[in-house]
Amino acid sequence: MTATYRALALSALLVVSLIGFAAAPAAASHDGDAADCDFPLTVTDDTGTEVTLDGEAETVVALDAASAQTFWEVGASEKVIGMPVRPYTEYLEGSEERTDVLTDDGSGVDVETVIELDADLVVAPNYTPDATIQQLRDANQTVYRSPLEESFEAIYQKTELYGHFAGNCEQGAQTAEETRNEVETIREAVADEESPSVLYYFFGFTAGSETFIGDIIETAGGSNVAAEVGITGFEQISDESIVEQNPDWVVTTDNQGAINTSREAFQNTAAVQNDQVLTVDANLVSQAAPRVVEPLRAMAEAFHPEAFAEETETEAMTETATDTETETQTDTDGDGAGFGVAVAVGALLGAVFLVRRR
């Protein structure tokens, strides 16, 4: 492993360990319905502190990638003036124009930079140390530390709340609902399928119960072997456990070096022997935010391709019908033939859908 990839692995392990050993979150409460966009807004954060905004936040500092993504998804990206400006946030359009709020090595928050930005609101992840939160509050910064996200439900709630913070309640609620609908559609598609055993593996760590990655695996129709052996949060998993559990699938990330399937422990698993190792986007699967539905769908389609075959066939038929209708409408010679073909195609599709419903 080169020095660059070794540094990447160490950074990844640091972040995972911070998440894994974070204190159990206090129940954050939200006074009132986020969709009504009323201010002042008072919420109780993960530290047990009541945080009040007198009006919508015009400037925001997001101390983690997941929070930044959430503000992008609720249409408030222009309000984010500070965030981690790192390779794992490059996918957020315009992120490189923001101020980086992490230390040079990326292991902590650059408190002085955050204070200088003097945003209306600072949003911090659960694993931000109490001392850092207190430093910011002592400097008169309004800080909200979010609870640890353990499920999709926490992501929906965070999305609505961050929309409210930014005064974009309608889009926050809409994004949360669209995310929920996509998740439930996938959950229903695989509900009657047998659950293969699945191991999530990332630089020696796995995701057990009480993690949103574990929730992704189960929602995608898999059985999380880490949770079944009693692992909670993010913990290291031994080669012996991997051999003993013999997962049907191994899910890993696209970070180079995240997994070495040539190791004996993996070579003996059904997952490797049957070529069932799935690689997902490291950024999206590790950031508890709306775009997590993308690795969710990738897992569900890999574990249960038969459950999505009909959906793919229907989409292909719809696209073909649309293309045919467009061609016939642009190739008219006054005899009404184009209109007749379009109607015929529409009738055929209607008949197909009717038969499928029966």
Whether 148 and 246 share a structural domain: no
What residues contact 173, with CB distance under 8 A and at least 6 apart? 34, 35, 160, 163
Contact status, residue 118 vs residue 99, Cβ threshold 8 Å: no
Contact status, residue 169 vs residue 34, Cβ threshold 8 Å: yes
Whether 213 and 173 share a structural domain: no
pLDDT of residue 338: 34
Whether 156 and 218 share a structural domain: no
| CATH code of residue 66 | 3.40.50.1980
Whether 157 and 177 share a structural domain: yes
Whether 93 and 194 share a structural domain: no
What residues contact 291, with CB distance under 8 A and at least 6 apart? 69, 73, 284
Whether 259 and 174 share a structural domain: no
Q: What is the CA radius of gyration of the chain?
A: 24
pLDDT of residue 325: 53
Query: Two tokens at 60?
Result: 């925001």
- Tell which of 283, 303, 323 closes a domain: 303
157 sits in which H/E element: helix 152-165
pLDDT of the chain, 358 residues: tens digit per residue:
444 433 444 344 344 333 333 333 334 444 444 448 999 999 999 999 999 999 999 999 999 999 999 999 999 999 999 999 999 999 999 999 999 999 999 999 999 999 999 999 999 999 999 999 999 999 999 999 999 998 999 999 999 999 999 999 999 999 999 999 999 999 999 999 999 999 999 999 999 999 999 999 999 999 999 999 999 999 999 999 999 999 999 999 999 999 999 999 999 999 999 999 999 999 999 999 999 999 999 999 999 999 998 665 555 445 554 454 545 444 444 443 332 333 333 333 333 333 333 3
Contact status, residue 323 vs residue 349, Cβ threshold 8 Å: no
Residue in the structure block whose two tokens are 């930079």? 113
Whether 334 and 264 share a structural domain: no
Q: How many domains does the chain have?
A: 3
CA pair distance 122, 97, nearest whole angstrom? 18
For residue 162, give the nearest of 173, 150, 151 by alpha carbon. Answer: 173
Helix and strand element counts for the chain (H, E): 15, 14
Whether 114 and 9 share a structural domain: yes
pLDDT of residue 26: 39
Whether 265 and 243 share a structural domain: yes
From residue 71, alpha-carbon distances to 93, 124, 357 in Å are 12, 13, 39
pLDDT of residue 112: 98
pLDDT of residue 3: 41
pLDDT of residue 311: 63
- Tell which of 166, 185, 204 closes a domain: 185
CA angle (170, 175, 178) in 5-degree steps: 125
Query: Two tokens at 28?
Result: 């954050």
Whether 53 and 147 share a structural domain: yes
pLDDT of residue 309: 82
- Tell which of 185, 219, 239 closes a domain: 185
Amino acid at 357: R
Give yes or no for a cis peptide into 40 (omega within 30° of 0): yes
Whether 294 and 316 share a structural domain: no
pLDDT of residue 276: 98
pLDDT of residue 313: 53
Whether 44 and 174 share a structural domain: yes
Looking at the DSSP bridge assignments, the partners of residue 253 are 280
The range of the structural domain enclosing residue 242 comes to 190-303
